[in-house]
Amino acid sequence: MRVEARGLTFDVRAGGPEGGDAVLLLHGFPQHGGEWDDVVPALHAAGLRTYAPDQRGYSPGARPAEPVAYRLPELVADAVGVLDALGVDAGHVVGHDWGAVVGWALAARHPERVRTLTAVSVPHPAAFGYALANDRRQQARSSYMMLFRKPGKAEKVLLAWRAAALRRLLSGVGDAGRVARYAEPMRQPGALTGALNWYRAMSGRDLKAVGPVRVPTTYVWSENDVAIGRTAAEACAGHVDGDYRFVALPGVTHWIPDEAPAPLAEAILARVRGVA
């Protein structure tokens, strides 16, 4: 389905019982709403209605050209706009990677719109910032962002040789078919630039503005995540004032929704049902 919000058109995967409690599923880089396809069957079976939008830069009808249009407040406003367009006053929010960043900010700034939060892979921005400032290993893990913030060069590197580098980046999601499912859309004109603009618009000011989260929250981290280390993961608890649960998945990489959909669905359902 397509949803009109804030003058943009978002492609949204919707499923589950029409009358079920709403779950907003926010994807990360460089994927799309389809990254939740292996997670949603369990949510639907539990009676939940899911909405997985292709976010700003990923939906062709929501792809502004300038990086400034991808600042965190704009991304959060998109999520609110989609909820408004769907007629959802408050929903359960689940976000992976960059989608988790949007989820944290949404819950902090608009707690009345978020019944529960399940953040996947990326911790609260303040926890990430702490690790980035104090943990050399996290600094090394995050060094890729320097390339991603360079207009033109990042696209050239990632898309060369039929997007060989982008495919290597995605290798943890599964077989070649699954890798292609995410890599091929990024080869469309302007698509990768839209996705990379999230990094180019990223600012310390916007991230620091995300306050503590007071809604019931679960943070799901994977021990083999190359992007987020344990320092950031364990610091997350200090930025949640509401009921909080930390779930660490052993032997799983960054691509949790693809690699471990069953444990992730279990964590989401536990949070939705109020099990901490």
pLDDT tops 80 at residue 11: yes
CATH topology of domain 2-139+205-272: Rossmann fold (3.40.50)
What band does 99 get if pLDDT is binned at 50, 70 and 90?
Answer: very high
pTM of the model: 0.97
Q: Mind listing the pLDDT tens digit for each residue in 134-145?
A: 999 999 999 999
Residue 100 pLDDT exceeds 80: yes
Residues 2-26, mean pLDDT to the nearest whole number: 97
Report whether pLDDT(195) > 80.
yes
pLDDT digits (tens, 9 = 90+) for 239-257: 999 999 999 999 999 999 9
pLDDT at site 38:
98
pLDDT in tens, 148-177: 999 999 999 999 999 999 999 999 999 999
Give the mean model confidence (pLDDT) for residues 54-82: 98
Does pLDDT of 275 surpass 90? no
Q: What is the percent of the chain where pLDDT is above 70?
A: 99
- Which residues touch 22 (CB under 8 Å, ≥6 apart)? 48, 49, 50, 51, 83, 86, 88, 91, 92
**Mean pLDDT, the chain, integer:** 97
* pLDDT bracket for residue 84 (50, 70, 90): very high
Looking at the predicted structure, is the pLDDT value of residue 274 above 90? no
List Cβ neighbours of 220 (8 Å cut-off, separation of 6 or more). 118, 119, 120, 121, 247, 249, 256, 264, 267
Name, in order, each residue with C-beta under 8 angstroms of 263's C-beta and a sequence gap of 6 or more: 247, 249, 252
According to DSSP, the residues that pair with 246 across neighbouring strands are: 219
Tokens matching residue 46: 């539990």
Query: Quick one: pLDDT at residue 207?
Result: 93
Query: What local confidence, expressed as pLDDT, does residue 276 receive?
Result: 38
> CB-based burial of residue 252 (10 Å sphere; 0-12 exposed, 13-18 middle, 19+ buried)?
buried
> Has residue 90 got a pLDDT over 50?
yes
Q: Cα–Cα distance between 239 and 126 in angstroms, integer? A: 7
The runs of H, that is alpha helices, within 23-124 are 40-45, 72-86, 98-109
Instruction: List the chain domain ranges.
Output: 2-139+205-272
Q: What per-residue string of b and e applies to 81-102 under the rule 16 or more CB within 10 Å gives b?
A: bbbebbebebbbbbbbbbbbbb
